[in-house]
Structure 1
Amino acid sequence: MDGYWNRVSEMDKSETPGRAGFAQIICTAATDEEAEELYSEHMLYFFNRCLHVFPGFADPPGYRTVKTIQAGKLDQFRKENQALFKRLTWKDLVEGGYVIAGSPDTVRERMEDMIKRLRVGTVFCLLHMGNMPDWKTRYSSQLFAEKVMPGLRGIWGDEFADAEDWWCKPMAERVRPEDTMADARRYPEMPKGPAA
């Protein structure tokens, strides 16, 4: 991410952390030990069994710029790196930052470190992964929302408090769902296209 922020600075653009986002797998439990007990099976299933992507599909022609190729980005999809995923342990996942997991305090500390290290303003929280059942997802999500998120609000302080230029906003001229539903209800069945 340093290269990105250096480029933003060179271009004299707004350096609000809202310019960058990051997706992170997060598993919250009452304790670090409970997190491993509840979620390791599902995280290992995902990493050890579900990340089989043919490297050609992960890196189609024209997808990367010359600078990206020179920097060696997307190397995680090379065959030898994919083989690594088949051998990861819970400890590897947590210590390697693939998964942020543990008690609310542990999750909050690790997320704060990640947010500041990467300088991101938006974290896309992946609270369900692999074959995790509904109740575990809800349990983790509730603990995260009630005990982790409040500690992360305002992480960037007052300097960027008013920097809303990167927040999603509704389009002024947008299609309203209630209008399209009213139109759809006028038809007893879908109009048929021309006969073949």
Structure 2
Amino acid sequence: MKFYMMHLMPYADLDLDYDQKHNSAWITLPNSYYDPKKGAKLYNRYLDELEYADQLGFDGICVNEHHQNAYGLMPQPGVMAGALARRTKKAKIAILGRALPLLNNPLTVAEEFAMVDNITEGRLIAGFVRGIGAEYHAWSSNPALSHERFHEAHDLIVRAWTETGPFAFEGDQYHFEYVNLWPRPYQNDPHPPIWIPSQGSSETIEWASHPSRRYTYLQTFTPVAMLVKYMQMYRDMAAEHGYEATEDQLGWSVPLYVAETDEIARREAQPHIENFLNKFLRMPKEMLLPPGYLSLKSMLGVMKAKSSIGTKQTIDAVIEKGMFICGSPQTVREKLAEYHSQIGFGHLLTLLQFGTLPAELTRKNMELYANEVMPYLRDHAAKKVSVAAE
């Protein structure tokens, strides 16, 4: 099992009474709520936290893309990846991801990712996403074209990474007379690893699991019951294609908080995880799932997985659903080991800062997790592999 620190870089200084006047922290929340002086300090604090994760021995650090909201201050995650490229030494840098359907020129991502891959000498993980529905409102992009633009942009980027140029690319969405990427990626056998985060679209799972790709699929912020379903869906689709999916093809992203005891962990985490759920994630359902964004089949599944968004949530409810891991090192170890045995994911992406969680508690969380949870789970996973091999 590999361990990653995921960061959303929220605007933690948000006036939490904003919802007295506004119904969402996304798209429609006036940017007058953002103070650049406070934001500048947050950016540098968050970069420090990700650099510290490298020092603590995490296998990777993760940044991502969101637009026009207080939930995540990374509209251009490549900027953060570039800042981290020279300041980290061992951890993979996962950009999870770029929302390909929003791009007018996907070659900018091919170039950007190739640069980071060269600077880090092969530590890049490329994440490609369709982007959640709110991003289509932010960019005034047609969600009905999401799948088509995603697939075509993906094909263009992979060809740019792997084929000798110049060559022409003629698609329905993108047209280039010259594709001739400089620089080429450092990882060229055949290209940087590609991960596909998703909310649970069956079309996305089917596409990622195809034998021509076999991309790592990441399930994000989902009840464990639905996580089990989606992980098994990937395995089933791989089996239909004639191969057995490995744990390396499956990943899970989940917020987590560990403290000295269960009581301390719950007390310290409660206000911040509830702010994350009820203030930062706040958006109307039509913003999350605009018409045309999903097929009916996927829409029903995602609505079930994300049914709690828009309703008031408590720490107890999300702990019970497995959407938040919280407790002493022993509690967290046992719970994650149980889920790993049940589900079999190979990549665990923990959100160790969430909502308004302050710097001192984030550092404490990181240190306890890295020193008292990760080593146990590495042993647990190694023993599981050993038993399976016998």
TM over 0.5: yes
Aligned to 1:54: 284
2:275 paired residue among 45, 51, 56: 45
Per-residue deviation at 1:47? 1.2
Question: Closer, same or farther in 2 for the Cα pair 1:20/1:12, shift >3 Å?
Answer: same
Paired with 1:116 and 1:95, the residues of 2 have a C-alpha distance of 18
Aligned to 1:68: 298
Per-residue deviation at 1:61? 4.6
* Cα root mean square deviation, aligned: 2.4
The 5 Å alignment of 1:1-196 reads 1=230, 2-65=232-295, 67-69=297-299, 72-76=300-304, 81-84=308-311, 86=312, 88-154=313-379, 155=381, 156-158=384-386
8 Å CA contact 1:24–1:99 kept in 2: the answer is yes
Question: Closer, same or farther in 2 for the Cα pair 1:26/1:149, shift >3 Å?
Answer: same
| Consecutive unaligned residues in structure 2, runs of 5 or more | 1-229
8 Å CA contact 2:258–2:265 kept in 1: the answer is yes
Structure with higher RCO (Cα < 8 A, 6+ apart): 1
TM-score by length of 2: 0.37
SS in 2 for 1:131: coil
Paired with 2:297 and 2:343, the residues of 1 have a C-alpha distance of 20
Deviation digits for residues 44-85 of structure 1, max 9, x if unmatched? 11112222223233224554345424xx2210587x74343x
**Which of the pair has more CA radius of gyration?**
1
SS in 1 for 2:368: helix
8 Å CA contact 2:285–2:310 kept in 1: the answer is no
Question: Closer, same or farther in 2 for the Cα pair 1:54/1:90, shift >3 Å?
Answer: closer
Counting strand residues as a fraction of each chain, which structure ranks higher? 2
TM-score by length of 1: 0.70
User: Kindly, what percent of the aligned residue pairs are identical?
Assistant: 29
**Between Structure 1 and Structure 2, how many residues are aligned?**
156
Per-residue deviation at 1:92? 1.6
Aligned to 1:173: none
| Consecutive unaligned residues in structure 1, runs of 5 or more | 162-196
Deviation digits for residues 146-172 of structure 1, max 9, x if unmatched? 0000111151423789xxxxxxxxxxx
